[in-house]
Amino acid sequence: MSSDKPGQDLKEAVGRKASLAQTISAVAWSFFGVRRGRDHENDMAKLNPVHVVIAGVLGAALFVLMLVLLVRWVIGSGVAAA
């Protein structure tokens, strides 16, 4: 462990500053399940875990919304009635 105080690692992780684009990129790649080891290590060093969780929840909600809209479109178009 790198610090003497409990919870210090978490405080340091939350203080990380990565751009919104870097966070979204890391979350998007994680949805596909593909990431290079070097990029993963870079993300672990730079990304704020709170921002990653928020981006992940928003990304999952957007994905579900897109699936619902797709299903509604397919059902409404009559393609599924065949």
Q: What distance in Å separates the CA atoms of residue 51 and residue 54, rounded to the nearest whole number?
A: 5
> How large is the average pLDDT for residues 23-43?
83
Handedness of CA 72, 75, 76, 79 (dihedral sign): positive
The answer to whether residues 23 and 47 touch, using CB atoms and an 8 Å cutoff, is: yes
Over residues 60-73, the pLDDT tens digits come to 999 999 999 999 99
Give the pLDDT confidence of 7-32 residue by residue, as tens digits: 666 556 666 677 888 888 888 888 88
* pTM (predicted TM-score): 0.70
Q: What contacts 26, CB < 8 A, 6 or more positions away?
A: 35, 39, 43, 47, 52
- Tokens standing for residue 56: 């992940």
